[in-house]
């Protein structure tokens, strides 16, 4: 009688119990348990596939820090910021601005990327959910700081001037990937995660920085 042996290696690949037996840390065990629950509790629907449950390093570190009640280590924070900044895609035509009226529409629009949204449809910026932006819109959230008078407060009177450049660059970078400046920022990564197109981001830049924009009145 031939005995079929399953090597420990193969058994380890398919069994979560192996995590404990191979001496994995408590953190790794907890992570494995979490992943098991997530795969069993969700299903793909519409444009939201199970890959939406995956965490990149930034999310993993920030989530663990939140759960433990601490902030990420200075080292980890610096690493997240640096890699985020390096990956920023600057405007391909060197132009940072668009139409602030379209920017306002985008800021008001909270749609896109959910499993009930039509795949391939344009996404909104979701901005008013968290921020005050123009004075006339009273339906604004307080999860993020007020952006009212954003350009004015930063002394931007001419977007093409040399003095305005650092603010222009910072604003584009922040919209593209807020983690480039704040490692665990709650704000979505609009460029990095392909939520908004370059054209859409330019409209938001105008909304915030154009001296004619209602934001700066």
Residue 67 touches another protein, criterion: CB under 8 A: yes
With binding defined as CB under 8 A, does residue 41 bind another protein?
yes
Q: Is 49 a residue that touches another protein (CB under 8 A)? A: yes
Burial class of residue 1 (count of CB atoms within 10 Å of its CB; 0-12, 13-18, 19+): exposed
Structure tokens at 104: 């306002």
Query: Which residue, 102 or 130, is less far from another protein as judged by CB?
Result: 130
- 83 binds another protein per the rule CB under 8 A: no
Min dist CB 17 to another protein, Å, is 16
Q: Which of 55, 58, 61 has its CA nearest to residue 82?
A: 58
Out of 18, 32, 48, 87, the only residue in the binding site for another protein (CB under 8 A) is 48
Least Cβ distance, residue 138 to another protein (angstroms): 6
CA distances (Å), origin 61, targets 35, 180, 215 = 15, 15, 35
Q: Does 16 bind another protein (CB under 8 A)?
A: no
For 15, half-sphere exposure in the C-beta direction (CA atoms, 13 angstrom radius) is 12
| Opening angle at CA 68, ends 62 and 69, nearest 5 | 85
Three-state secondary structure call for residue 117: coil
Task: Identify which range of 5-13, 96-104, 148-156, 189-197 contacts another protein by CB under 8 A.
Answer: 189-197
Secondary structure class of 7 (helix, strand, coil) = coil
Query: Does residue 145 belong to the site contacting another protein (CB under 8 A)?
Result: no
Q: Is 172 or 190 the residue whose CB approaches another protein more closely?
A: 190
- Residue identified by tokens 């119990």 is 17
Say if CB 209 and CB 151 are below 8 A apart.
Answer: yes
Q: Applying CB under 8 A, does 122 fall inside the site for another protein?
A: no
CA dist 108 and 127 (Å) reads 7
Judged by CB under 8 A, the residue of 189, 208, 209, 216 near another protein is 189
For another protein, the closer CB: 127 or 209: 127
Q: Token pair of 131, please?
A: 């921020």
Query: Which one of residues 16, 45, 135, 170 is an interface residue with another protein (CB under 8 A)?
Result: 45
Q: Does 63 bind another protein (CB under 8 A)?
A: yes
Applying CB under 8 A, the residues found at the interface with another protein are: 30, 33-34, 37-38, 40-45, 48-50, 52-55, 58-59, 62-64, 66-67, 113-116, 126, 128-130, 138-143, 186, 188-189, 193, 195
């Amino acid at each position: 009688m031939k005995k079929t042996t399953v090597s420990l290696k193969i058994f380890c690949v398919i069994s979560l119990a192996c995590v404990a037996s191979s001496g994995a840390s408590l953190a790794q065990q907890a992570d494995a348990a979490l992943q098991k629950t997530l795969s069993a509790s969700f299903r793909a629907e519409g444009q939201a596939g199970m890959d939406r449950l995956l965490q990149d390093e930034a999310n993993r570190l920030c989530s663990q820090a939140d759960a433990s009640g601490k902030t990420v280590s200075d080292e980890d924070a610096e690493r997240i910021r640096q890699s985020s900044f390096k990956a920023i895609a600057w405007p391909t035509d060197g132009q940072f601005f668009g139409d602030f009226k379209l920017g306002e529409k985008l800021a008001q629009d909270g749609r896109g990327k959910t499993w009930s949204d039509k795949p391939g449809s344009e996404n909104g910026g979701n901005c008013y959910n968290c921020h005050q932006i123009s004075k006339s819109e009273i339906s604004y959230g307080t999860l993020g700081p007020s952006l009212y008078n954003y350009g004015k407060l930063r002394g931007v009177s001419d977007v093409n001037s040399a003095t305005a450049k650092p603010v222009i660059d910072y604003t584009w970078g922040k919209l593209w990937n807020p983690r480039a400046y704040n490692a665990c920022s709650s704000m979505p990564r609009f460029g990095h995660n392909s939520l908004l197109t370059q054209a859409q981001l330019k409209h938001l830049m105008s909304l915030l920085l154009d001296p004619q924009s209602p934001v700066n009145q």
